Amino acid sequence: MDKILVGISSCLLGNLVRYDGAHKYNSYIERTLGQYFEFKAFCPEVDAGLGTPRPAVQLREIGQHIRVVGVKDHTLDVTEPLKQVGERQRHWLEGLCGYILKKDSPSCGMERVKVYINDIPARAGVGIFADFLQQQFPTLPIEEEGRLGDPALRENFIQRVFVRHRWQQLCQSPLTAHGLMRFHSRHKLIAMSHDQNRARELGRLIADVRTDNINDIAQRYITELMACLKIVATRGNHVNVLQHIQGYLKRSIDTDDKQELTDTIEIYRQGTVPLIVPLTLLRHHFRKQPDVFIDESFYMTPHPAELSLLNQI
């Protein structure tokens, strides 16, 4: 498959763009995710003309407004140049399927960035460029490199990147009601594993699609789908989906196989085995007893197996 275009803070790929002229190279991102993602490296502070090396900056509350100022010299205010960066880069940002940001950065930090209020730090800020991304591209999967160390957050982000990529592929041709319904059918079980109420709402939304409202429905659909998928899937929701899938086999497997499936799903519910175990058993049965809906669903294979993401959740 073609690599998926993902934006990334330039320092995470080893580029010497940090304020001190250093980098924050992340080997997992480049060596593992780089097998599937084509990275667009970008540093908003360099693009804003701040230079490398440069004076370190921080978020500081000044007159009830958050400004980006020098750590040592508070009269150095680079807020406006940083705010202008996002708009200048909008042309390529719109084509991305995800973005990986550098944590704690006053420009790129996604959350819990230090904001200094009367010289007292509070982890309540968002980097200027990160805030632009989140406000202007609400359906774009965004994550910090530090949070990718959490297996559930890592799987959640990568899954969303692949979903957005498939959506972009769908939108390359004129949208049809059939195409939109098929897209939802293939992602329905994934949505259920994140939030069953939202998954039902997505189904009702798709049921209303017509030729004259397809563009409006499509925009509402992808907005709601990506909001649903941003909720980290729970073990309980996965169990419900696994049991739902098991129902497609009730007439095609014998009593012993049914009991083995039930027991495997239960030990997954208890946390004894990862999700890949009941999924592998289900795949085994569906290879022998194919079902069109299950075969087309991305729930069984949401991303390349080589990433081993389902082995840790």
Per-residue pLDDT 10s for the chain (313 aa) are 689 999 999 999 999 999 999 999 999 999 999 999 999 999 999 999 999 999 999 999 998 899 999 999 999 999 999 999 999 999 999 999 999 999 999 999 999 999 999 899 999 999 999 999 999 999 999 999 999 999 999 999 999 999 999 999 999 999 999 999 999 999 999 999 999 999 999 999 999 999 999 999 999 999 999 999 999 999 999 999 999 999 999 888 999 999 999 999 999 999 999 999 999 999 999 999 999 999 999 999 999 999 999 999 9
Q: How far apart are CA 125 and CA 61, in angstroms?
A: 10
Tell me which residue of 109, 125, 105, 95 sits closest to 19, measured CA to CA.
105
In our burial notation (b when 16+ CB lie closer than 10 A, e otherwise), range 146-171 reads bbbeeeebbbbbbbbbbbbbbbeebe
215 and 143 both lie in a single domain: no
Let me know whether 119 and 83 are in one domain: yes
Do residues 161 and 309 share a domain?
A: yes
Number of domains in the chain: 2
Domain boundary among 149, 183, 204: 149
User: Edge to edge, what strands does the sheet with 120-125 contain?
Assistant: 65-70, 57-62, 113-117, 120-125
61 and 168 both lie in a single domain? no
Query: Both 85 and 119 in a single domain?
Result: yes
Are residues 114 and 13 located together in one domain of the fold? Answer: yes
End-to-end CA distance of the chain: give it in Å, rounded: 25
Measured from the Cβ of residue 118, the count of other Cβ atoms closer than 10 Å reads: 6
Is residue 262 within a helix (H) or strand (E), and if so which, with residue range? Answer: helix 255-269
- 296 shares its domain with 271: yes
- Are residues 198 and 112 part of one domain? no
Choose the final residue of a domain: 149, 177, 205: 149
**Which letter does DSSP use for residue 308 in this model?**
-
Same domain, 8 and 104: yes
- Give backbone dihedrals phi and psi of 116, rounded to 5 degrees, phi first: -95, 120
**Bridge partners of 39?**
6
The closest of 189, 194, 297, 188 to 237, measured between CA atoms, is 194
Per the structure, the complete domain to which residue 99 belongs is given by 4-149
Domain boundary pick from 149, 183, 211:
149
